[in-house]
Chain A
Amino acid sequence: TQLLEQSPQFLSIQEGENLTVYCNSSSVFSSLQWYRQEPGEGPVLLVTVVTGGEVKKLKRLTFQFGDARKDSSLHITAAQPGDTGLYLCAGLSGGTSYGKLTFGQGTILTVHP
């Protein structure tokens, strides 16, 4: 069974601070996706990282995929109250488990004005 450990589970910071969320596994994933989810709504895809060592930037968000494709991080620069939400990493299995996403436990981010 592939597991994704996401940390921290809760993060409460002030507007303007930087933060990093980590997603770690002992398994290799063919790709890793980051989602943001609002209460009662479906996860919204932020980014997909595929290549080991890949770095993708989405405005103030920077996503990195580990060289071995077992871990990933999400870094937010100068956080804003609008960034508040649940962030989920999800690993995509290759091989015979086509398209099955394994989710981390999520990080609840609260950015205070």
Chain B
Amino acid sequence: AAGVIQSPRHLIKEKRETATLKCYPIPRHDTVYWYQQGPGQDPQFLISFYEKMQSDKGSIPDRFSAQQFSDYHSELNMSSLELGDSALYFCASSLGFTPWGQNTEAFFGQGTRLTVV
């Protein structure tokens, strides 16, 4: 079965550079989530999109932006990179949602390891 695809898997950038992370959800999934996971930490929610509209926002810095395109893939744009941005960035997708959480299982991609030097 097709899974969530993230690219690139590894990315090395210098401070103050920009980076773009891409996420291709499971086919027919309309919801995409972005998470940041620092070393030894649990994933922290950044932002989510449902049907190409931002649905929720977490602890995402103003230097970061994201969008979901018409084909439901999503991109996380990160500017003015800082050393502290080094982390694993995960994308997850799910098929819609209901207010009571049914049919909202989120499946994660393998992540992009961003290293800022």
Contact = CB atoms under 8 A, between A and B. Distances in A.
Physical interaction between A and B: yes
Query: Which of B55, B99, B106, B110 has the most chain A CB atoms inside 10 A of its CB?
Result: B106
Interface of A is mostly: loop
B108 A31 contact: no
B43 A103 contact: yes
A100 B31 CA distance: 11
A88 B44 CA distance: 12
B61 interface: no
Nearest to B90: A42
Contact of B45 (A33, A35, A95, A100): A100
A94 B33 CA distance: 15
B88 A33 contact: no
Contact of A100 (B48, B88, B100, B102): B48
Interface stretch (A43-51, A54-62, A72-80): A43-51
A88 B109 contact: no
Contacts of A105: 41-42
A52 B66 CA distance: 35
B50 A43 contact: no
Contacts of A104: 42
Interface in B1-55: 4, 6, 31, 33, 35, 41-45, 48, 50, 55
A111 to B, nearest CB: 20
Given A96-B56, A99-B104, A100-B56, 5 more contacts: A42-B111, A94-B100, A98-B55, A105-B41, A106-B42
The 9 closest A-B pairs by CB, nearest first: A30-B101, A31-B101, A42-B108, A103-B42, A92-B101, A98-B97, A42-B110, A43-B108, A30-B100
